[in-house]
A and B are shown apart, each in its own frame.
Chain A
């Protein structure tokens, strides 16, 4: 069930794919704002430059947490692309996230502290819907294994419209796009300076960027699972999804954290719950 080869391919190729997606993101964003924008390869140049910079930290323990963040984000994706258990993927994902939050706490800096607290709020906001996504995919495909879900002929997206919309909503939270970029943001409209990542610089910040690339690929991989019955359609769906994320990012202003909670939990108890309840009723007769 577990394929080591695809996991290794993921570890090697995901940063490249993720970096490209980040470059396209910036290009699209620039076009939406009427700018020319940087070259698509710009994220790679940025990370390469960060690695050249001096290693400055507030406390050396930050390095440990961020290294662990990167490693476990890669592990998360490796389990996913090896075809492992989707719930285990999600738990490893949480573990990785807790590490970056701890890195921000460790610095004892007012800005990164608030960023860390807010990142935890986003984590609490998106987690229920993400678990329900795994459960929904299990109900229609009969397996928690990514390999089996992806290979399933069942048109999951058709059975799980509510779960899909719910997942896309929390995906926006997960990718820290406006209006949910409460903990840190690539845009310069943050009152928290750089929030979560304020105290990271140089090679450490580069690791965070690479981890984010890994993360993006896993999250879009979950979108794929909804359309696994038709790989071509799945790729189109991923492209549309990402375009929508960028579009939302550029059309919304950031909201309060309460709004993030309401959205994340709201979609879970409405769309997620109703969709699953219908499935339970028709498929399991309970």
Chain B
């Protein structure tokens, strides 16, 4: 039990130290040290707990709950103050509603309920803890040097780095708390802390845009928070002894009893994981410094949303409400992938790709067969690794090249060869066989084929997959263009960043190589424990995949032979006289520049256009889920 408490409390302690500390060099050291301790702690948790299955711990309910309630009220007051100060009436209203609900809960049941097994650990929690502990703390390390550069580029932004790192570590602590809690009001407390943390981080630069986007994120997540609070009130009123407030008891109570709170909590999950119609907050969140985006997209925040939905998958499975929620995910997957085609802002492409992949996870969890839960967990793992790498690479590119536009990334392989190679691997991890995301998509197709309403999901996966290949491959093509001009400007990237980027790159490859082990030691036991049956890829396929990765690792060696032989010539320019930097003689003797541009198809895949379809459709589907549980209740 102490390892769990350590992982929750240690980041908090570090957070307070960083809040009080003004010296930048000591901050660097403390963050690096803390990252090391947290990663080691989560690996220790893996080593010590993975054989034990699910273990529940009787952590004292009081006074912990009282402390949490006090903190919740403090958070509410802070949000009310900020809401009034920035004239955000809707946010104020939502905070008030939620606070009143929680006060009502505390007065009516808070003193009488006494859940015993408040903390727990199982294989899924271990996986989440590893993602939070390793990827989250790597991002924190990256952020130390990133924020130095950030402030030397943006003198107009007030230096609030103390607050920044305070919130980052609180965020990690809250994520640990969220995945270790078996007590649903506690999960809700940590849930709200992640909402607050992302609100503060998105608004970091204090520009009008940042403030507005931070409040957008806050409002959407508070909406989910209200649904979550509703679920707690419902559970307490159904069973005043508080027995159902334990997550395992609720999940074990069967679909009839658990479906109403499950849908309410999954609604909260949909807002947090930025499914349509709530996708806008995550897209808006890219105004934050890039490490924040990396954190929100990979190991925290949105992963909390899908974590809770995957937890509730056994309850959703086979219900009409579950299918509706799954369809919200599927529609989001398809349309967000489409929107990604039309975007040239690299961070926006990454954001929509995240939303799409979260959609796929939600679709898997909503249908909830054992195979699909297996696929969903692997999607969470692979996505976290590859997406954090990509965000941090884009952040580095942005600082060196001065743009985050994909059209400015011509010949990145010439200017920033190592960064470009890492981005290449990250992107391959997102959509190509034999890497991670594709393994999961493949498993998802095979599982959806035999699932209820499977054809609709298979169709959506087939089209969404094709669209995904298009938007990644054209970006990949852009960065590997070998331009005859451009200089290597890579030496200005700091060592700390290299360590982080290198680790994440290695993890992207390793995750694909080690996935059979992850599957048999963590994911399969979890799925087996929940459903009594499990899923896996056939042995033959695993061997073929590993061989393919080996081949991919060997093929670059062929570069060695090209150096010696062969002659290079300039590209074919239609016979026009061309300078070495690709300027050619046009008509009337004018010198023109050759530039290459990607297709974006805004007229087919434009953001506004597809959101106009997706948002109402997903609202209807959510209403259908609500109608389904109202039907159950009556």
Contacts and interface: CB of A to CB of B under 8 A. Distances in A.
A277 B453 CA distance: 10
B449 interface: yes
A106 B480 contact: yes
Interface of A: 1-2, 54-61, 63-64, 67-68, 71-72, 75, 79, 84-85, 87-88, 91-92, 94-95, 98, 101-102, 104-113, 116-117, 120-121, 123-125, 127-129, 131-132, 135, 138-139, 144, 193, 198-199, 265, 268-269, 273, 276-277, 280, 284, 286
A138 B413 CA distance: 42
B558 A67 contact: yes
A234 B481 CA distance: 43
Contact of B563 (A60, A84, A92, A120): A60
B566 A55 contact: yes
Contacts of B434: 91, 95
A94 B433 contact: yes
11 contacts: A1-B540, A85-B538, A85-B540, A88-B541, A107-B482, A110-B571, A113-B477, A125-B466, A127-B462, A132-B462, A135-B462
Contacts of A107: 481-482, 571
Contact of A138 (B449, B462, B474, B559): B449
Given A55-B565, A95-B433, A127-B466, A199 B572 contact: yes
Interface size class of B (residues with CB under 8 A): 35 or more
A interface, by DSSP: helix, strand, loop or mixed?
helix
B573 A124 contact: no
B598 interface: yes
Contacts of B411: 108
Contact of B566 (A57, A87, A198): A57
Interface string B199-211: 0000000000000
A105 B567 contact: no
B493 interface: no
Nearest to B552: A68
Contacts of B497: none
Interface string B571-600: 111100000001000000000001010110
Given A84-B541, A269-B459, A276-B455, A109 B571 contact: yes
B624 interface: no
B432 A71 contact: no
Contact of A111 (B446, B541, B572): B572
Which of A123, A124, A273, A286 has most B Cβ within 10 Å?
Answer: A124
B258 interface: no
A116 B567 CA distance: 23
Which of B446, B454, B466 has most A Cβ within 10 Å?
Answer: B466
B473 interface: yes
A75 B570 contact: no
A59 B484 CA distance: 9
B470 interface: yes
A60 B458 contact: no
B455 to A, nearest CB: 5
